[in-house]
Structure 1
Amino acid sequence: MLEGLKIVEYATYVAAPGAAGVMADWGADVIKVEPPGGDPIRMFFSSLGVDDAFNPVFDLDNRGKRGIILDTAQEAGRDALLKLIDGADIFLTNVRPGGLKRAGLDHETVMQRCPRLIYATLTGYGLEGPDADRPGMDSAAFWARSGLAAMFRPKGGDPVQLRTAFGDHVASLAIISAVLAAVHERQRTGAGRLVDASLLRVAHYVGGSDFAIQHTRGRIASNRARKDVPNPLINYFKTGDNHWISLLQRQGEKDWPKLARALKVEHLVDDPRFANNRARREHGSALVPLLDEAFAARPLSEIATALDAEEMIWAPMLTPTEAIADPQAIAAGCVVQTPTHDGGTISAPAAPVRFPGADDGPKGPSPRPGEHTRAVLLEAGLSAGEVDAMYASGAAA
């Protein structure tokens, strides 16, 4: 779908590279520009004291790209990057605004040179305000500063740590949508534009339902123990063979009699403590143990049949091991085969959307450090002698 779209990625870690990685799956030509020593996320496992010869975290977000190394602190490296940008549709970076300004790579300077360029920047906190130049990764900017960590914190408990790159990958999707909107706009106007994405703003949208309530009502419900949730029918329950399921209730009252039938507790429907949503909320601490008992009386297979017969909304809570082998996940295209440098493939998460009939999967392995530097610089119009001089000075590797 994106064949012919050229992206220069001047970014590290996950959020911005993840956006370019998905667009590479969809056919864009992505040139990944790394600093000397490479993208720090290449050292993800070694930072944990684990051998990082095989790094699926890096591979996920960088498959199918061409990789080069430039030292943009040197004039030759900076000039080479600008030559690459001259031939690009999109420049994608997560370097902080101050660093870009000092290097002469800020959006005002670059877009004056390339007025059709879509200049996409991902920061922790946005391009304006007192913290615009503050470093911010997803656990800090997306999770903690945004208020999401406080929302997910169990009432009276310690904060819950965010899983690896969770906020980053949500931001990746936001960047993709914004960049492609700008591509469409450029088709009409002929002009490029600045795209300003931040982990903080993405988080406020992700938590938008709660924030909308906070804005208008001044408070939101806290995360509570299962017996104390606002709606006891929107909850987790354990079956007799120790499988957890997630149960949901539609709006209104129609699901309560259906659930009662499925669990063979029809007598609870007439109990005044559980007669409607308000009553069930007030008496949830009494209702949840009764439902626990009913769920625990039968194995998952029987519970599943009964819930499906009543068209209840529910799902099993799978472990990661189970999830990646889930037949429905496979059928939905959640797992793809990514090429490796030795000619094999590895299983990996797919890009988030399928385009039936299109080649929408990984186009190649992630690049080795500097694997395509020489070829890309020659393609950009540098002479062989200029490229050799850059290698000699360390401006390229």
Structure 2
Amino acid sequence: MLLEGLKVVEMATWVAGPGCAGIMADWGAEVIKVESPDGDATRAFYPDTAESPGNPIFSMENRGKKGVVLDIAKPEGRRALIALLRQADVFVTNVRPGSLRRMGLDYESLKDELPRLIYAAVTGYGLTGPEADVPAFDITAFWTRSGVARATIPPDQEPFPSRPGFGDHTTALATLSAVLAAVHERTATGRGRLVETSLIRAGAYAISWDLSLQLRYGQVVTAQPRDERPVPISGFFRTSDDRWVCIVPRTLDCFTNMMIAIDRPEILADERYDLPIEDLAIVREVRAMIDEAFAGMTLAEASQRLTEGDLAWAPMATLAELADSDMAQEAGCFEIVADGWGGSFRAPAAPARFPEGAPPVGRPAPKLGEHTREVLEAAGLRPDEIDALL
């Protein structure tokens, strides 16, 4: 069912690589997570102990995997990894390209020995070029270097970072898509291939609505100060109970429906407000009317009026509201995951579900090296070889 029978070896830390392999684990693949003796850095967030079981950060990316510790800087550690890769369909890594080459674990070094292996390399800035080995996080490469931040943050505001893992999870999905395409191809060719994704490329794709205009015309208007925006009914408006609603017009009728919602239908008979409104002074005048109207409504009142007007809108929710939302529960946003200590907790779900049946999700993330002996025995290593590694 789904990815059951697919064997994945992951040698990656933080989020983008582990996130890709984590979704495959959710969908039934057997995923072996290879860590150094120090472990994935995300283990250090909210330490997993009997007193505080179930590190939510590490579990998010690594639930359902088997955990193996190998020191691949040593010859016996590298040999053990190769033994695992001989049995694998997919290898996911975000180790920097130069380090992989030095250890003989880059794609060129392995492709002849392991011709069926699909090798997924996740990087900051790609596998080639002078910046291939530059260290990167999603906040630096996906958010800042790609232009996403500059296109998102209005120029009258101080820059701010993206939330942790935001661009990493986009890159994880891109990597997953590419891996599954390569798996499909291999059913016909019998051969694996190199799959490459990067934070910078995922960022460029994520902002590609704006980027396509930049590439085509040499310029693009991105985030503007609120007072300079050309569509008066689009954007965020504050209610009397200090909540924000976001409104996005879909058709020309939305302007009519908005004027009715704010009790200003007389606007519709004034030709100064005929669409499109090109005079920015009139845009500001209309926006001021909308601001004043919402300032006199509670969120509940605004919700009723906007919904009755069939407008595309949403309240700016908190994470606490999302977590308590019946809608989010119905949409499948959460999973129940074992904490590895006999209990369980709610966690975010992968971004797709399969209503007609899927492998169960909920196995805990592995303790550091928890399955080393079991996995290496299955890979054919002798007990004395495993003892030496341990």
- With normalisation by structure 2, the TM-score equals 0.95
Structure-2 change in CA distance of 1:269 and 1:167 (3 Å): same
Tell me, in whole angstroms, the C-alpha distance in 2 between the residues paired with 1:227 and 1:265.
21
Letter in 1 for 2:294: F
Q: Corresponding residue for 1:394? A: none
Counterpart residue identity of residue 13, structure 1: W
- Could you tell me which residue of structure 1 aligns to residue 135 of structure 2? 135
Q: Equivalents in 1 of 2:297, 2:14: separation in Å?
A: 46
Q: Is the 8 A contact 2:46 2:56 kept in 1?
A: no
Distance 1:213 1:149 in 2: 17
| Distance (whole Å) between structure 1 residues aligned to residue 268 and residue 366 of structure 2 | 61
Q: For the residues of structure 2 that align with 1:45 and 1:301, how far apart are their CA atoms?
A: 37
Q: CA deviation at 1:126?
A: 0.6
What residue in structure 2 maps to residue 207 of structure 1? 207
Letter in 2 for 1:352: P
Matches within 5 A, 1:53-202: 54-202=54-202
Distance 1:284 1:20 in 2: 48
C-alpha contact 1:226 1:232 (8 A) present in aligned 2: no
1:326-354 CA distances to partner (integer Å, 9 max, x unpaired)?
Answer: 11001001011111212221111000001
Counterpart of 1:319 in structure 2 is: 318
- In the TM superposition, residue 54 of structure 1 has moved relative to its aligned partner by 5.0
RMSD: 1.7
Determine whether 1:40 maps to 2:47.
no
CA distance in 1, matches of 2:143, 2:71: 32
More displaced stretch, 51-60 vs 132-141: 51-60
Output the amino acid matched with 1:75: P
Deviation at 1:99, TM superposition (A): 0.5
Quote the Cα distance in structure 1 between the aligned partners of 2:293 and 2:163: 33
CA separation in 1, counterparts of 2:169 and 2:46? 19
Residue 361 of structure 1 and its aligned partner are, at CA, apart by 4.9
Deviations 1:200-249 (A, max 9, x none): 00000000000011112222224233332232221111223322111010
CA distance in 1 between partners of 2:270 and 2:203 (Å): 41
Question: How does 1:200-349 map onto structure 2 within 5 Å?
Answer: 200-251=200-251, 253-279=252-278, 281=280, 283-349=282-348
Unaligned runs of 5+ in 1: 392-397
Partner SS state of residue 230, structure 2: coil
Alpha-carbon separation, structure 1, partners of 2:106 and 2:55: 32
Q: CA deviation at 1:156?
A: 2.9
Instruction: Please give the alpha-carbon distance, in whole angstroms, between the structure 2 residues aligned to 1:83 and 1:119.
Output: 15
TM-score, normalised with respect to structure 1: 0.93
SS at match of 1:336: strand
CA-CA distance at 1:360 after TM superposition: 4.8
Whether contact under 8 Å (1:258, 1:310) holds in the other structure is: yes
Q: Which moved more, 1:77-86 or 1:336-345?
A: 336-345
3-state SS in 2 of match to 1:283 = helix
**Partners of 1:384 and 1:214 in 2: CA distance:** 60
Query: Which amino acid is the alignment partner of residue 126 of structure 2?
Result: G
Q: Secondary structure at the match of 1:112?
A: coil
Structure 2 counterpart of 1:55, one-letter code: N
Deviations 1:227-275 (A, max 9, x none): 3223222111122332211101014x22111111122111222334432
Shift of 1:280: 6.3
Contact 1:350/1:361, CA 8 A, preserved across alignment: no
* Cα shift at 1:72: 0.3
The DSSP-based 3-state class of the residue aligned with 2:112 is: helix
- CA–CA distance in 2 between the matches of 1:200 and 1:182? 21
Q: 1:258 & 1:157 partners in 2: Cα distance?
A: 31
- The amino acid that maps onto 1:125 is Y
Q: Distance in 2 between matches of 1:385 and 1:20?
A: 30
- 1:291-338: CA deviations, max 9, x gaps? 011122222223222222221111111111111111100100101111
Q: Secondary structure at the match of 1:377?
A: helix
Q: Gaps spanning 5+ residues in structure 2: where?
A: none
Structure 1 residue 282, shift from structure 2 partner: 5.2
Pair 229,312 (structure 1): closer, same or farther in 2 beyond 3 Å: same
Give yes or no for contact 1:35–1:69 (8 Å, CA) kept in 2: yes
Relative distance call for 1:255 and 1:185 in structure 2 (3 A) is same
Cα gap change, 1:280 to 1:343, in 2 (>3 Å) = farther
Higher mean displacement: 326-335 or 232-241: 232-241
Contact 1:231 1:281 in 2 (8 A): no
Query: Do residues 18 (structure 1) and 32 (structure 2) align?
Result: no
Residues of 1 paired with 2:160 and 2:223: CA distance?
11
Cα distance in 1 for residues equivalent to 2:232 and 2:83: 60
Deviation of 1:281 after TM superposition, in Å, equals 4.8
- C-alpha spacing 1:233/1:360, structure 2 compared with 1 (3 Å): farther
